[in-house]
Copies of this chain bind each other. A is one copy, B any other.
């Protein structure tokens, strides 16, 4: 990532200067191993292994932390902020874990922490939320924020292929890590949606409070059934603001990331391959959407350059805290427990194909006051068990889970039920 930023600055630094009247110079680059060969040609004299010397160098005006990881990165950032130096970071894992503390430190030291590149790569979603939509209360935020998952789901849909086959191919092509869990189990997306939720609602949302599901359970069959019903399966991260309760004071939000069926005609359904998108609904502006590459050193470099430009303008104008990095404006907000959230669902069961099966399942759902909106019993499946797909009306996750437990105990049910959300963006 550092190489991408260095390269982009070499290429377009002059352009930024001519537009903004600020000049940049990469004074030093701290790396783990100066002797390693690099795809970007950085003069040997600028390389060092001593990050502390770089940060503390009086000639360093802006510190860019592009190393990733948590321990050293945190030391770099806190050292810089304590010296009152603005920091630009792309480190979502660190922000997700320690954002509140780092923003507070920046504020105390009269400087700022810029983090456009930490969420959704080249999409300027942080600037949009902090500045462009400043006049809006954010009522909904939906994101496709993990490029690896979106790439896998897109290829599964286009090719009718299995998750594991596409994952293996994605790993071969470099679109997925050898250890894919961070991406495919939803943790990376949860970190990102947590940052966006915090920013939109003004209180810090830690990953532990985010209901997180990955895409391992999605099968070509699900994608195909969803398509028949007019939907496309995406890994959707979401933040939903609940209507104010009786107290009227507390901001209550749902924050989650789950495989979700979205209408195929919706613009989010058409965000494909490694692209990311974030749909933001504001109470004034209505629906707006931001789309771009969510990863890759170039897309990320674009966001880092934007932050560097802002940091430089703020230094030049002596306005280091012009737009606060993160403002805790709704300290009494809370994340609603997933059990208390309401959604429509797609439910796939493996059932023994004999008369009365559907009636028994429907009866159990009915007992929990859960309504069925449609049923698919696809033809052409034979064997001990066959798939049965139910589309479920709005129900709380608690009621749904309870009903599923009962359904799972029926002798006609084989294997584990698969449950995805259905989102119509109402």
Contacts and interface: CB of A to CB of B under 8 A. Distances in A.
Interface of A: 8-9, 11-12, 15-16, 18-21, 116, 122-124, 127-128, 131-137, 202, 265-267, 269-272, 275, 277, 282-293, 296, 298-299, 301-306, 308-310, 313, 317-319, 322-324, 327, 329
A291 B292 contact: no
A295 to B, nearest CB: 11
B305 A134 contact: yes
A292 B288 contact: yes
A179 B69 CA distance: 60
30 contacts: A8-B135, A11-B283, A12-B137, A15-B329, A18-B327, A116-B132, A122-B288, A124-B131, A124-B132, A128-B132, A131-B306, A133-B302, A135-B308, A265-B270, A267-B270, A270-B270, A282-B302, A284-B299, A284-B301, A285-B293, A285-B299, A287-B291, A287-B292, A288-B290, A289-B290, A291-B291, A313-B323, A317-B318, A317-B322, A322-B322
Nearest to A291: B289
Given A284-B12, A322-B317, A292 B289 contact: yes
A292 B286 contact: yes
B134 A16 contact: yes
Contacts of A306: 131-135
B284 A8 contact: yes
Question: Which of A287, A288, A322: most chain B CB closer than 10 A?
Answer: A288
Contacts of A269: 270
A64 to B, nearest CB: 13
Contact of A131 (B18, B283, B290, B309): B309
Considering residues A20, A135, A267, A313, which has the most beta carbons from chain B within 10 angstroms of its beta carbon? A135
Given A270-B270, A309-B134, A12 B283 contact: yes
B286 A324 contact: no
